[in-house]
């Protein structure tokens, strides 16, 4: 598998316009993950996955959830770095959202 730079997309048509602000992360392997923040917790799931598959965590653990959802192996340096980068992108993009200032 060839790893590239993580991609960022904003919004996703699978969610209603009302609710938390979300970002869509795209891993180099094509996996797309929706991430949103409510208070101090981050939630994530693969695009198109049922709501029951949502995982919630604190910011420090977001890279582990991103890695799992994107099928990235944290034991492989480049894939671990990609998961960390993707989680950092999501955290930066969601840092200023109203949901994060309760």
Average pLDDT per block of 10 residues along the chain, 102 residues long: 43 48 96 94 96 96 98 98 97 74 42
For 14-34, write each residue's pLDDT tens digit: 444 445 789 999 999 999 999
The predicted model scores a pTM of 0.76
Quick check: 67 and 80 in contact, CB under 8 A? yes
Q: What is the pLDDT of residue 2?
A: 38
- Spatial separation of the C-alpha atoms in residues 23 and 53, rounded to whole Å: 17
Instruction: Round the CA-based radius of gyration of the chain to a whole number and report it.
Output: 13
- Domain map of the chain by residue range? 7-96
């Amino acid at each position: 598998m060839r790893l590239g730079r993580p991609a960022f997309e904003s919004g996703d048509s699978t969610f209603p316009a009302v609710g938390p602000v979300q970002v869509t992360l795209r891993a180099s392997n094509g996996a797309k993950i929706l991430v949103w923040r409510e208070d101090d917790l981050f939630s994530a799931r693969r695009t198109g996955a049922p709501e029951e598959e949502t995982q919630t965590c604190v910011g420090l653990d977001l890279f582990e959830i991103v890695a799992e959802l994107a099928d990235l192996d944290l034991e492989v340096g480049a894939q671990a770095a990609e998961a960390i980068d993707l989680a950092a992108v999501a955290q930066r993009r969601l840092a200023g959202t109203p949901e994060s200032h309760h």
